[in-house]
Structure 1
Amino acid sequence: MKELALGIIGLGTVGRSVAKILKENQDLIAARAGCAIYIKKGAVKDLSKSREIFDFPITNNIDEILNDPEIDIVLELTGGVDTPFEIAKKALRNSKSLVTANKAMLAYHRYSLQQIAGDLPIGFEASVAGGIPIIKALRDGLGANHILSIHGIINGTCNFILTKMKDFGMEFDAVLKEAQELGYAEADPTFDVGGFDAAHKLLILASIAYGIDARPNDMLIEGITQITQEDIAFAKEFGYHLKLLGIAKKDGDCIELRVHPTFLPKDAMLGKVDGVMNAISVVGDYVGETLYYGAGAGGEATASAVISDIIEIARTKSSPMLGFKTTNHILKLKPIEEITSAYYLRILVLDKPGVLAKIATILGEIGISIDTLLQHNHKHYSTLLLSTHICKEAEIRLAVARISALEVVKAKPTMIRIEK
């Protein structure tokens, strides 16, 4: 049986799990790949750190892997953007296939890597939703369909926090601290709770679904840091689930790309996905809706996706990294201001007559109609919780700006979008 040699750069949680699975399931993997797969060498930044004993040599010189003519596939399992991009470029230019789990690098450099790769295969299943095979589903399984929409819970940290807030009545800061203690959130959680991690993943999915080359700064990104128990109460009162969603939608020749907290109807399947789990709904023009659910993070789940790419590379000839042989697509990114949605507003106001009338007047002048309304009274203050009918993003932003300027409004209103 022929052999396939791997060089693994990064032996953190995912890298260690890859090594473990390749060893423990080596016969199964060889049978599926049609060849024996082994790690020839691993690379880490610091050799002095205590590490378990591996059955392959370890170096702190990445070039020993990138320049080794016997290594067939480079596994890039580090973090960051610029350094991993340099590693990936050098691997491809040295005629080595590449497998990466790095969604941040791909969010910025996926099209550059596809151009450099030429006929060399690049695997990146592990970059989105951990162990869920969503990349292969979009690129291959749904290849006959125009993708009409993607809605995804693709950040387990945010889903865990919103679930705990819903089920136990806890506020954001308390749940975030618990998530950090459990290892679900980093010491600096901004990347997750700010929506940026989900945005990077959505950009990768949108490239495969639509062939669109966008960057994080091109899209609408909002996190969950402003969510309170009043927002949770509104969701319960009106039969919604509150989730951080990555959303991609086809509208004519435009594509909407956005990440933000979202109210979903109570019967929506995605709304029932709780804890750290991920789920992605994809709607195709012929297949209809398909739903993908599973562990979105964790060393072993992510390593499973990494190894699936290795097996695919071992089995097949090259295929386009992002699923398209040509790039002459007519689809373009819809401007953020043109996105339409229903909206929820939480507005802290002075408890005095005429306040609601002033707010309703502003909304009416802009052409936004109110759908539902709740009022929570406090000492000297009231919180207005209202939802609107569908309007444009530009209109709701103008309304929020004008409402914020009212003397009776004591804080900038919180806005959450509603998917009908």
Structure 2
Amino acid sequence: MVSRQARQPGQSLKVAVLGCGSVGSQVVRLLDEQAADLAARVGVPVELAGVAVRRLDAPREVEVPEGLLTTDAAGLVRRDDIDLVVEVIGGLEPARSLILAALENGASVVTANKALLAEDGPTLFEAAEKHGRDLYYEAAVAGAIPILRPLRESLAGDKVTRVLGIVNGTTNFILDKMDTAGSGFAEALEEAQELGYAEADPTADVEGFDAAAKAAILASLAFHSRVTASDVYREGISEVTAADVQSAREMNSVVKLLAICELKDDAVAVRVHPAMIPRSHPLASVREAYNAVFVESEAAGQLMFYGPGAGGSPTASAVLGDLVTVARNVLAGTRGVGESAYADRAVLPMGETRTRYHVAIDVDDRAGVLAQVALAFAEHDVSIQTVRQEGRDLDAQLVVVSHEATDAQLSATVEHLRGMETVREVTSVMRVEGESE
């Protein structure tokens, strides 16, 4: 731990901000506009001491005070007068090296970097512990929604058993438009891009990478075990069709991209994939680009956290909340809660995770086909909950919803169906979450 000079009474706390994009610019704005309130809440003035950017002449949403912009991020985090570093540049490098350098130099860190935390969180937490500094990251998951601190602190005396969330606004907007407006995937994605909800390259969102990183962070906190992004089973929404959405509607359900973290026989199951959920479920009513996280615990029961899950101002709000907490710790000469990984639970393979399936099957319309399909499910020990036939002749289709079974059993059943002579095509396979109405 770096030795620093004793803080003088009333001495301002100096903050360095790494990045001045949509989030960083709003952090800078709030530090200025709320300076008096922040000083009252912290106990001393909070002073912006530097802002690291890639280009000094790039257009910005906020005017940074003269002399504070720098392209030397490494030099900024190593300054002896910096008490706290806010990292909002994202990505793995140079963010990881800069955070480690800041901690080594005696500064605490607030970050919104979900990808880095999900990829290499333990390295960062160990560095914070070694140097006696804070590493806070509320803004890394679900924007302004306070979900990480409740898991880490408010529910510390309880046993969390399940976390179920919509944690990506882009995909929720797309699926909501497919449900409410009858849009196709491509059409809804284009609208999301026009409104700024989706990037020009939407891969991280629509293929589930963003949600998987957040799921890893949620599972790590909820179950006191180290979970990385590579532990998370991931499917995106690019294969979700209008027919899937219509089929969900006929079941009085809706399709959502869900991050699901569960405690199963003292092992952790973590997955991200589209699923049908009943419209009676609280998450079904989450519209457009909003996020929501549903938490189940033994003592508290069911809790839901809802709000804007992205955007410069909402995310900056979460950053500033962490900044106030960390600043108070700096003044008190203490540190907050660090990593809690004492349980060290194993991560359950997806094949052993139990779920339900909705399967749409184009079949030959002749006697005995339903019995053959039912037998295929039975051979893999998968019980059928409901089955209905739609259409006749060449348009004949069976829609089957299974009871809960392992994902491996359900996957094997689907492969079996695809090899049957009487099955023309398995047109849709989607998991089903929540109790039917």
TM-score, normalising length: structure 1: 0.94
Shift in Å, 1:32 = 1.2
Report the CA distance shift for 1:36/1:348 in structure 2 as closer, same or farther (over 3 A): farther
**What is the CA–CA distance in structure 2 between the aligned matches of 1:82 and 1:93, rounded to whole Å?**
17
Paired residue for 1:212?
A: 225
**What is the CA–CA distance in structure 2 between the aligned matches of 1:356 and 1:154, rounded to whole Å?**
39
Question: The residue matched to 1:410 in structure 2 has which SS?
Answer: strand
Q: 1:256-287: per-residue Cα shift (whole Å, max 9, x none)? A: 11111122223211111111111111112111
Aligned residues: 417
Alignment equivalent of 1:89, drawn from 96, 100, 119:
100
Corresponding position: 1:115 with 2:126: yes
Alignment equivalent of 1:318, drawn from 330, 335, 341:
335
Q: 1:233-271: per-residue Cα shift (whole Å, max 9, x none)? A: 222222223211111111221111111112222321111
User: Contact 1:344 / 1:418 at 8 angstroms: preserved in 2?
Assistant: no
Alignment equivalent of 1:410, drawn from 425, 430, 437:
425
Paired residue for 1:245?
A: 258
User: Contact 1:152 / 1:245 at 8 angstroms: preserved in 2?
Assistant: yes
User: Contact 1:342 / 1:419 at 8 angstroms: preserved in 2?
Assistant: no
Report the CA distance shift for 1:11/1:358 in structure 2 as closer, same or farther (over 3 A): same
Question: The residue matched to 1:99 in structure 2 has which SS?
Answer: strand
Corresponding position: 1:255 with 2:264: no
**What is the CA–CA distance in structure 2 between the aligned matches of 1:349 and 1:35, rounded to whole Å?**
72
Question: After alignment, is 213-222 or 84-93 more displaced?
Answer: 213-222
Shift in Å, 1:163 = 0.8
**What is the CA–CA distance in structure 2 between the aligned matches of 1:102 and 1:350, rounded to whole Å?**
51
Question: After alignment, is 222-231 or 116-125 more displaced?
Answer: 222-231
**What is the CA–CA distance in structure 2 between the aligned matches of 1:170 and 1:292, rounded to whole Å?**
28
Letter in 2 for 1:165: M
Question: After alignment, is 405-414 or 197-206 more displaced?
Answer: 405-414
Corresponding position: 1:343 with 2:357: yes
1:12-411 matches, cutoff 5 A? 12-51=21-60, 52-56=62-66, 57-118=68-129, 119-316=132-329, 317-322=334-339, 324=340, 327-349=341-363, 354-377=368-391, 380-407=394-421, 408-410=423-425
Question: The residue matched to 1:82 in structure 2 has which SS?
Answer: coil
User: Contact 1:348 / 1:413 at 8 angstroms: preserved in 2?
Assistant: no
Shift in Å, 1:411 = 5.3
Letter in 2 for 1:226: E
**What is the CA–CA distance in structure 2 between the aligned matches of 1:199 and 1:378, rounded to whole Å?**
41
Question: The residue matched to 1:345 in structure 2 has which SS?
Answer: strand
**What is the CA–CA distance in structure 2 between the aligned matches of 1:202 and 1:62, rounded to whole Å?**
30
Shift in Å, 1:374 = 3.7
Shift in Å, 1:382 = 3.9
Letter in 1 for 2:50: K
Report the CA distance shift for 1:351/1:81 in structure 2 as closer, same or farther (over 3 A): farther
Shift in Å, 1:117 = 0.9
Shift in Å, 1:384 = 3.2
Question: The residue matched to 1:32 in structure 2 has which SS?
Answer: helix
Report the CA distance shift for 1:352/1:46 in structure 2 as closer, same or farther (over 3 A): farther
Shift in Å, 1:358 = 3.3
Paired residue for 2:5?
A: none
**What is the CA–CA distance in structure 2 between the aligned matches of 1:185 and 1:6, rounded to whole Å?**
31
Report the CA distance shift for 1:354/1:414 in structure 2 as closer, same or farther (over 3 A): same
User: Contact 1:370 / 1:388 at 8 angstroms: preserved in 2?
Assistant: yes
TM-score, normalising length: structure 2: 0.91
Question: The residue matched to 2:425 in structure 1 has which SS?
Answer: coil
Letter in 2 for 1:2: Q
Shift in Å, 1:231 = 1.7
Identity %: 36
**What is the CA–CA distance in structure 2 between the aligned matches of 1:121 and 1:200, rounded to whole Å?**
21
User: Contact 1:370 / 1:389 at 8 angstroms: preserved in 2?
Assistant: yes
Unaligned runs of 5+ in 1: none
**What is the CA–CA distance in structure 1 between the aligned matches of 2:70 and 2:351, rounded to whole Å?**
50
Shift in Å, 1:60 = 1.1
**What is the CA–CA distance in structure 2 between the aligned matches of 1:205 and 1:339, rounded to whole Å?**
18
Question: After alignment, is 376-385 or 364-373 more displaced?
Answer: 376-385
